[in-house]
């Protein structure tokens, strides 16, 4: 068994690793496999997202969960994947352009929430997806996809 790593990662590194793993899992993997992962997440389960080998044979494990409690309507794989695609593309854009990552920190547990939302609209209903990252244990990073209450985001006509 490999020992757990003590590694310090910057928020932009955590975000980049997370976004790449999400893209690989949901857009480069066979649809039936990624859909099965979504079904597990939808049931409230935590799934393995990645195992990253680092120096001295140590590894970092990435775990993924989904908080759909604020999703308005009935969530399905297509809506989830559409919101995720928008979010991952926006994350890649911000990282590539070295723009502000809009990071919020939960001081109670150290969770970082990257406010780089994936907005989708279905039948006039908007839903918003963001990513949170927290160290769950030594060598274990939790990534939580969270739908936010869409009423917080007022639609403006310009």
Q: Which two tokens stand for residue 151?
A: 């009423």
Number of domains in the chain: 1
pLDDT recorded at residue 109: 85
The rounded distance, in Å, linking the Cα atoms of 57 and 154 is: 49
pLDDT recorded at residue 3: 46
pLDDT(156) > 70: no
Q: Which two tokens stand for residue 28?
A: 């480069």
> pLDDT digits over 74-127, tens only?
999 999 999 999 999 999 999 999 999 999 998 888 889 999 999 999 888 999
pLDDT recorded at residue 151: 85
pLDDT recorded at residue 7: 58
Is there a domain that residue 53 lies in? yes
Is there a domain that residue 51 lies in? yes
pTM: 0.88
Is there a domain that residue 3 lies in? no
The rounded distance, in Å, linking the Cα atoms of 62 and 17 is: 9
Task: Give me the domain span that covers residue 28.
Answer: 11-150
């Amino acid at each position: 068994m490999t020992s757990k790593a003590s590694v310090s990662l910057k928020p932009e590194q955590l975000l980049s690793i997370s976004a790449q793993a999400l893209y690989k899992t949901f857009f480069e993997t066979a649809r039936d496999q990624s859909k099965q992962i979504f079904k597990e997440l939808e049931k409230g389960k935590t799934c393995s997202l990645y195992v990253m080998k680092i120096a001295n044979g140590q590894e970092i494990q990435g775990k993924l969960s989904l908080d759909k409690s604020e999703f308005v309507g009935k969530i399905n794989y297509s809506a989830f994947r559409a919101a995720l695609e928008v979010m991952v593309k926006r994350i890649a854009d911000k990282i590539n352009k070295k723009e502000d990552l809009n990071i919020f920190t939960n001081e109670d547990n150290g969770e970082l929430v990257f406010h780089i939302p994936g907005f989708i609209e279905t039948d006039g209903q908007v839903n918003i997806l963001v990513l949170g990252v927290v160290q769950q244990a030594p060598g274990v990073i939790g990534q939580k996809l969270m739908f936010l209450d869409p009423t917080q985001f007022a639609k403006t006509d310009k």
